Amino acid sequence: MRIKQCLLALILVVAGVRSISGQTPTVIDFEEFAGYPMPPMCGGALSGGGVDFGGGDPIRDPAVFAPDSTVVFASNNFDQGHSYEGWCEGFIPIGFPQPVSSVSFLLISPPPVPPEPDYPGEAPEPNSFVIYGWDGVHPSPLSLSIGPFVGAQTVALPWPQVQFVDIYVTGSPWHRSFAIDNVSFVSGAGQRQVVASVSGSAPETVEVGGSPLSAHFPLGAEFTFALQDTQGNAIPSSYSLGTASLAASVDADAVFPGLAALQYSNQPEPSSAQFQAVHLGSVPLTITPTGGTTPPVNLTILVEAPASLGTAHTEFDELIGSVSHAKGVLPQYIKAVAHHESVGTFNRNSYRYEPIGPNTGDLDVVSHGQNLRLQAPYKDYRLATSPNYGASDPPLTQGTNIDSGDIDVRNTYYIMRADCSIPGSTAVVHRHIKPCDSFVGADEIYFANHDQNWWTGSKGLLVYDNPLLLNFTAQTGLASSYGLMQVMYVKAVQDLRWQGITDASRGHAAGSKNPSFLFDTDVNEAIGGGSLRLGGKFLAREVRRVITESDSHPLAGEADLRKVFKEALRAYNKWKKYPASVVAFVDQYTPLASRTIF
């Protein structure tokens, strides 16, 4: 289709080219070519500003325009303002050095001349045009028909990008003449950009070039990629993750094993894809434009530790991030659980005694029911029991490994007793438990701490009506929950297989399982204690279970993942509103990046 021209070798510095970087178009108006000498018959070419024009010449024609008003680029045979039917080809080719977008120009169609005497039967008719474009994507040229018309009109090519344009006169057996002016275009349409954004943040853009591309995201972030040209035109593409390289310390039973980023199955737009950063590490991503006419884009996703999780209570964020990486549980969900369990205080020494809890409480599990206080390792950390309760609760000696830290946790609760710290005191007062108090009964704590709501529910009402059920020494160390995640001691040992501390501390050997080691102090966390790792382990197990049992895999989007976590949270706490209450805090602890994406 495209006619190769033998162009006159002429390279000019074009002062008439106005070019501004960015999205501002370049405009070629030909004004600097006034007086340019006419080339030989059917010759003519112009190369300026990086754009090649053929098939004509820059002229100033007073028969069409007011004298000295403008210069146009006219096809061969453009003479005295008429569409002269001559022997030269009536077309103008335009070549850009690379694909461009937003191409427009002024198309000038002079009035037709009367037919020559030799052809009296041919009636005058205006010019019509066909414009062909090559975009570097489609194998066949694009086309646009214009006219017939006389005069000047602006033509905006409707194609996203184009590199070569041919303008042909049609509608006559003769080669008509015409002119163009004010050729406008935006450079860079052939270049591509990767656009990436983290949910809730402004997108960032990087041009695809020769340098390797890397994109950085904080652990736990939801993020999106899109491919487009430099003018913002979407390029439909498919996205494929390669094999991830993960940072060390991922547990064997982690959620999303082997993945640094999870790709959601839902592709919101043909040019984009959504992901979730689930483990620290890196993974290659290949973006392949559909149609197979342009090469794929390769980049590396780097999942890094967040700068923080939200902006509040950030002192725990580094530890939460390490637990998140090890377990595959998003850090914002771990922190949301900690928020709920600590009632928003993030008290690392949060503690709660459970006298009647159904699965881990003192009545049914520790002192009665399973009576775990008689079994290892619980018997090593039990409190001595009172000889005053009779055969239903025979006296037991204090555990050999218990220490003051395990005993003093109970001091947050009240009892009705005389003050043991005052010798000879007999006045009964409502006061905190003290280290000198011995054989504190579960019934004493139950009835002296009404703010704990232990009497609600069927079990609480049963005990309230039958207080003798709690006639035993309260095991306030064994039947309690600890730390930010409020992990029950029995669950830590029995269900989560807590191995105890890894280094000696407070006079105890490695492997010791003192209840107070479950507080989230810096010392405890450094030696395998604390509640965060155990709570994260429990959540990971439940998330895996929900994904396996449900129809939510593959996950379509972040909303599906949120549903999975809500279902998993039902096992963490049996209160029916617990999942929704925890998830309500998730967005407060969005992972914040420590750097830009690109």
| Range(s) within the chain of domains with CATH label 2.60.40 | 192-308
Q: What is the pLDDT of residue 407?
A: 97
Task: Say what the pLDDT of residue 82 is.
Answer: 43
CB 483 within 8 A of CB 532: yes
The pLDDT, as a whole number, for residue 546 is 94
- pLDDT value at residue 11: 29
Q: How far apart are CA 499 and CA 515, in angstroms?
A: 12
Tokens 């309760």 -> residue: 389
HSE-up (13 A, CA, CB side) for residue 279: 26
Please give the pLDDT value at position 10: 29
Q: Assign domain 11-187 to a CATH class.
A: mainly beta
Q: Where in the chain is the domain with CATH 2.60.120?
A: 11-187
Name the amino acid, one letter, at 566: K
Beta carbons within 10 angstroms of residue 435's beta carbon: 12
Predicted model pTM: 0.72
* pLDDT under 70: residue ranges of the chain: 1-23, 33-45, 48-49, 61-69, 77-89, 113-124, 137, 171-175, 188-190, 210, 292-293, 455-458, 551-553
Structure-token pair, residue 496: 């989560």
Tokens of 526: 């450094």
DSSP, res 386: P
Pick the closest to residue 569 from 407, 390, 340 (CA basis).
Answer: 340
Tell me the C-alpha distance between 377 and 359, whole Å. 18
Note the Cα 410 to chain centre separation in Å.
44
Quick: pLDDT tens for 135-161. 876 778 999 999 899 889 999 999 878
DSSP-assigned letter for residue 266: -
Q: Is 316 exposed, middle or buried (0-12, 13-18, 19+ CB in 10 A)?
A: buried
Q: How far apart are CA 363 and CA 392, in angstroms?
A: 13
**What is d(CA 163, CA 101) in angstroms, rounded to the nearest whole number?**
9
Please name the residue that has the structure tokens 């007062």: 429
pLDDT at 403 (0 to 100): 95
Distance of CA 243 to the CA centre of its chain: 19
Which amino acid is residue 359, in one-letter code? N
In whole angstroms, give the CA distance from residue 557 to residue 564: 11
- pLDDT at position 127: 85
What CATH code would you report for 192-308? 2.60.40
How many angstroms separate the CA atoms of 162 and 231, rounded? 13
